[in-house]
Structure 1
Amino acid sequence: MATTVAIIGAGPGGLVTARWLAAQGFEPHLFEQAAALGGQWSGLDGTSGVWPGLYTNTSRILTAFSDLPHDGDQTFLAAGDIRRYLIRYADTFGLVDRIRLSTKVSRLSRGARGWTVETDSGAESFDRVVVASGRFQTPAVPTVHGMDSFAGPEGVTSTFHYRGADRYRGKRVLVGGCAVSALEIAAELAQGGAEAVVVTQRRQRYVLPKFAAGVPSDHRIFTRYGALADERLPRSAVDRQLRDIVTDAGGSPEQYGAPRPDPSLFAAGVTLSQDYLPLVAEGRIGIRPWLTSVSGRDVTFGDGSTAAFDGIVFGTGFALDLPFLGDEIRATVDLDTVHLDADRYTFHPDLPGLAFVGMWDQSGGYFVPLELQARWIAYTWGGVIPPPDPVAQRASIDAYRERRGLPQKTRMNLAVLTFARAAGCEPDLDTWPDLQRALLFGPLAPNCFRLEGPDALPGAAAAFARDAAAFGAITSNALTTREQEHWELLRAADG
């Protein structure tokens, strides 16, 4: 009899985990609270923060799984394209009949046989459970003095509940935050007929355009070299290299009339947005320091200035919220609104048979690391690779706990390399001499993790070469001058 696995959530993380668990002979059952699969990409108001006009800020190649490419050659995809892709993925791998839609999990706890999942339909037992419900469904709206008094006709909301610019046409709108949703929505409002758009921010981030010199920026910044540099080079050197990539691609914010960011990209942060800085330069988006108080329609900022607004939209991140976890699980992982203790965001040695998917906060696309995390879980539970050592797991959790209180956002390339190594499918550079440059400085395309290890594919090398050369950035194995300098730094660090 097949081992049963309850998967909580039928978004990208839940779907790709179900696909790989089924391939290992498990029997996955997906529970989805919404009326459609896709998680955030369903676009359903109340359970999704994806608005109708959203386009991905990650490229087509890095917003896909390794065994199902997107149709067509459009570089950045509309939200509806991603939703249809996930439906096609579920259909391709026989997952549709495994999904229970409109079924909200109210409690997860240990049972007499494995794990107990409770819904409105009752309680069921499963051998194992994967929590893949996502971490981007509970907006973290900041506390501001007098916010309850705001009297603008469009009220106060978050980017999670934003559904388009039409309601703000002819209105004065304040957008709080400088993460991707805040900047993209500010740009959409400015182009959609708002009378005035002002962004209030605690600090000025660097802003990386989605496209630079004809190449998607995620192909340049989220590379394997970047992850290796983080491991082996001084933090200051990595900081400088990343800042150079960002400013070479799109300049520095002060060149557009925005405030000058901190010289350290790590201190300032970086956000992907194609149109935001040009709209600042045109005067169609204003920038103010962080708001300090609200009175009626008037908002006062940190520099003492005051302005009246019709609506406020906050794009200030999300709280980690897993309300269905039973008390024992919650205490074991020491869950709060930011943290969840687990070895590499996945397993806890005191909770065998339970795994978490997609619970880390990162910049960059999630599809590639989600698939690698799913493969790690499936290979571990399926016996393809040895189980993690409990002592090493506890050391990993202790190291994570020491970082509590520090910024938690990681970069896509670090998550990718972490899970690829865990799953045993990180490609060896020496094995692929004709692909060395692409594997180091090219995109972290999903098919490069099908080159070797479990589930290697014969055609992966040719597919990866095509993806790496898709935009003309990697067309030969000859390193550019900058790449050569970076590679020599890395080799010198290795001794």
Structure 2
Amino acid sequence: MTGSVAVVGAGPAGLVVARWLLSQGFEPTVFERDHVLGGQWAGLPGRSGVWPGMHTNTSRVLTAFSDLEPQSNEVFPSSGEILDYLHRYAQKFELIPRIRFDSRVEHLGRDDGGWLVRHAGAEERFDRVVVASGRFHRSVIPPVAGLNTFSGSVGVSSTFDYRGPESLRDKRVLVAGSAVSALEVAAEVAQLGAARVVVTQRRQRYVLPKFAAGVPSDHRIFTRYGVLANEALPAPEIDRQLKEIVVEAGGSPEQYGAPAPDPSLFAAGVTLSQQHLPLVAEGRIALRPWMTSVAGPTVTFTDGTVEDFDAVVCGTGFELSLPFLSDDVRAVLDLDPAHLDADRYTFHPELPGLALMGMWDQSGGYFVPLELQARWIAYAWGGAITAPTATDQRHAVHAYRARRGLPQKTRMNLVALTFARAAGVEPCLDNWPDLRRALLFGPLAPSCFRLEGPDARSDAPARFARDAAAFGAITSNEPTERERRYWSLVQAAAGP
């Protein structure tokens, strides 16, 4: 079954789902509110949290789709190179004529078995719709007493609005938060002219460097083994293994002069940042516990210390915002700032013909799971695979609702394998003995999901072998002693 599909957003999610919908015979029309494609990667002020000097925190292998290899030689490409990649992707699959630029979707609702899209005063009816407008647009300013009265010369802002260190040179800067944007902004301004940089955090996280021993950390930690272990082993063992990998790669924060984190990595959390802990060790970034109050330029912290600042920059997360959805659709999804009900973040049984893209919160890169989610949507709608039944979807939604109120951030490999299995493209280990180690302990490169299933490619084995060996971590099929030890635990837990 094919037909017309409205796609909301021309960022990575919108582009990749349009490409795969086309492959299944659909006619997608992409609505983009701005005059350019790229979403966050376009770097438009007020629309994007990407600043000109930003580089990815995921490696080039995992910041790409399976049909177009990156041209950059940089391990962590610049934001400009990612935007160029998205333009090349759109051109390769002839997506640009299908994008309606400067077409902000104002209303999206159900209409007699189809979907009505209102934009720029006009209305159009589509058979189906994919919401791919992005999850990271509405930044959260934390509720701290007096923060709205802060009188420092630069004021209060979000890392979403950060565009470079110029306005913060020779200033006393307080960065609030310990997620990646907070630590990356703090590191940049500390190295490029701020008079003083302090990071205030609710708890000390473990910090994983982007690059360790010549290997990008996303190749070590976002693996298929991690998914299988998560399914087979008790949580304390998963916690121990992840902590072992993280501490081996970058040490523990207290070794750099930071507070000691919780012994449990799950309780403490982990953030990816190459420069943060070395700058703490050098005294160029100071650490404080969380803020209790603000009065004028003065901030008081929970340990009783007090300090004056010129700027407060908040890297404290985002709220889920889909303001164009009709009231009845919002009610069915039970949408709130952190949650929406959906079968594996994608479908709802009471909203046939609607799919959601990229609406989960994760650690790790989005390109690989976005492509897998796009393939699942296109295959399920196009008949290449058996679509989930309404009963299955209801069970999935019920299971998600049972987790509401719990921490929502998940790891990239868990999401990627969820979508790969749904799309029927998870490779079977037994089918690839020469790639077995790479498939278990190597990176979840997009090429490994073209080995089997719909749209398998004959060149995928060679491409995946090259991707897995790109930085020297997986150059043979012989596992390390630790890999043997870890895998034996999973096998023992799985039983005969």
Q: State the TM-score, normalizing by the size of structure 2.
A: 0.99
In the other structure, the counterpart of 1:4 is 4
In the other structure, the counterpart of 1:151 is 151
In the other structure, the counterpart of 1:185 is 185
In the other structure, the counterpart of 2:42 is 42
1:348-372 C-alpha deviation (Å, 9 max, x unpaired): 0110000000000000000000000
In the other structure, the counterpart of 1:276 is 276
In the other structure, the counterpart of 1:261 is 261
- The alignment status of 1:96 with 2:96, answered yes or no, reads yes
- What SS is found at the alignment partner of 1:50? coil
Amino acid in the other structure paired with 1:165: P
In the other structure, the counterpart of 1:237 is 237
- Alignment partners' CA distance in 2, 1:360 and 1:450: 24
| Equivalent residue pairs, number | 495
In the other structure, the counterpart of 1:353 is 353
- Alignment partners' CA distance in 1, 2:183 and 2:492: 39
1:313-332 aligned at under 5 Å gives the runs 313-332=313-332
- What SS is found at the alignment partner of 1:107? strand
In the other structure, the counterpart of 2:22 is 22
- The alignment status of 1:385 with 2:382, answered yes or no, reads no
1:369-428 C-alpha deviation (Å, 9 max, x unpaired): 000000000000000111102111111111111111110000000001000000000000
In the other structure, the counterpart of 1:403 is 403
- Alignment partners' CA distance in 2, 1:121 and 1:15: 24
- Alignment partners' CA distance in 2, 1:397 and 1:149: 42
Q: CA deviation at 1:137?
A: 0.3
1:358-369 aligned at under 5 Å gives the runs 358-369=358-369
Amino acid in the other structure paired with 1:108: L
In the other structure, the counterpart of 2:76 is 76
- The alignment status of 1:306 with 2:300, answered yes or no, reads no
Q: Is the 8 A contact 1:357 1:374 kept in 2?
A: yes
Amino acid in the other structure paired with 1:422: A
Q: How has the CA–CA distance of structure 1 residues 113 and 125 changed in structure 2, closer, same or farther, with 3 Å as cutoff?
A: farther
In the other structure, the counterpart of 1:443 is 443
In the other structure, the counterpart of 2:116 is 116
Q: CA deviation at 1:140?
A: 1.1
Q: Is the 8 A contact 1:158 1:315 kept in 2?
A: yes
1:22-57 C-alpha deviation (Å, 9 max, x unpaired): 011100011111221111101000111101111000
Amino acid in the other structure paired with 2:271: T
1:216-270 C-alpha deviation (Å, 9 max, x unpaired): 0000000000011111100000000000000000000000011100011111110
- Alignment partners' CA distance in 2, 1:63 and 1:143: 34
- What SS is found at the alignment partner of 1:355? strand
Amino acid in the other structure paired with 1:291: M
- The alignment status of 1:133 with 2:133, answered yes or no, reads yes
In the other structure, the counterpart of 1:414 is 414
- Alignment partners' CA distance in 1, 2:371 and 2:236: 31
- Alignment partners' CA distance in 2, 1:140 and 1:167: 21
- Alignment partners' CA distance in 2, 1:2 and 1:264: 49
Q: Is the 8 A contact 1:211 1:217 kept in 2?
A: yes
- Alignment partners' CA distance in 2, 1:473 and 1:113: 51
- Alignment partners' CA distance in 2, 1:180 and 1:400: 26
Q: CA deviation at 1:101?
A: 1.3
- What SS is found at the alignment partner of 1:106? strand
- What SS is found at the alignment partner of 2:138? coil
Q: CA deviation at 1:282?
A: 0.3
- What SS is found at the alignment partner of 2:6? strand
- Alignment partners' CA distance in 2, 1:141 and 1:233: 37
Q: CA deviation at 1:72?
A: 3.5
In the other structure, the counterpart of 2:295 is 295
- What SS is found at the alignment partner of 2:129? strand
Q: Unaligned stretches of 5+ in structure 2?
A: none
Q: CA deviation at 1:113?
A: 5.2
Q: Is the 8 A contact 2:72 2:81 kept in 1?
A: no
- Alignment partners' CA distance in 2, 1:123 and 1:299: 50
- The alignment status of 1:54 with 2:54, answered yes or no, reads yes
- Alignment partners' CA distance in 1, 2:40 and 2:227: 27
1:52-90 C-alpha deviation (Å, 9 max, x unpaired): 111000000000000100014221000000001001100
Q: CA deviation at 1:121?
A: 3.7
Amino acid in the other structure paired with 1:459: D
Q: Is the 8 A contact 2:2 2:24 kept in 1?
A: no
Q: Is the 8 A contact 1:113 1:125 kept in 2?
A: no
- Alignment partners' CA distance in 2, 1:447 and 1:241: 26
Q: Is the 8 A contact 1:224 1:444 kept in 2?
A: yes
Q: CA deviation at 1:2?
A: 5.7
Q: CA deviation at 1:184?
A: 0.2
Amino acid in the other structure paired with 1:106: E
Q: Unaligned stretches of 5+ in structure 1?
A: none
- What SS is found at the alignment partner of 2:461? helix
1:208-247 aligned at under 5 Å gives the runs 208-247=208-247
- Alignment partners' CA distance in 1, 2:270 and 2:44: 29
359-368 vs 145-154, which deviates more?
Answer: 145-154
Amino acid in the other structure paired with 1:199: V
- Alignment partners' CA distance in 1, 2:33 and 2:205: 35
- What SS is found at the alignment partner of 1:77? coil
Q: Is the 8 A contact 2:207 2:271 kept in 1?
A: yes
Q: CA deviation at 1:100?
A: 1.0
- Alignment partners' CA distance in 1, 2:207 and 2:15: 32
Q: Is the 8 A contact 1:173 1:309 kept in 2?
A: yes
- Alignment partners' CA distance in 1, 2:265 and 2:72: 35
Q: Is the 8 A contact 2:30 2:98 kept in 1?
A: yes
The alignment yields a C-alpha RMSD, in angstroms, of: 0.8
Q: Is the 8 A contact 1:113 1:126 kept in 2?
A: no
Q: Is the 8 A contact 1:300 1:306 kept in 2?
A: yes
- Alignment partners' CA distance in 1, 2:134 and 2:265: 28
- What SS is found at the alignment partner of 2:105? coil
- Alignment partners' CA distance in 1, 2:318 and 2:146: 22
Aligned-pair identity (%): 68
- Alignment partners' CA distance in 1, 2:90 and 2:141: 34
Q: Is the 8 A contact 1:159 1:314 kept in 2?
A: yes
In the other structure, the counterpart of 1:164 is 164
- Alignment partners' CA distance in 2, 1:189 and 1:207: 18
Amino acid in the other structure paired with 2:128: R
- Alignment partners' CA distance in 1, 2:121 and 2:25: 27
- Alignment partners' CA distance in 2, 1:74 and 1:165: 23
113-122 vs 148-157, which deviates more?
Answer: 113-122
Q: State the TM-score, normalizing by the size of structure 1.
A: 0.99
Amino acid in the other structure paired with 1:439: L
- Alignment partners' CA distance in 2, 1:292 and 1:170: 26
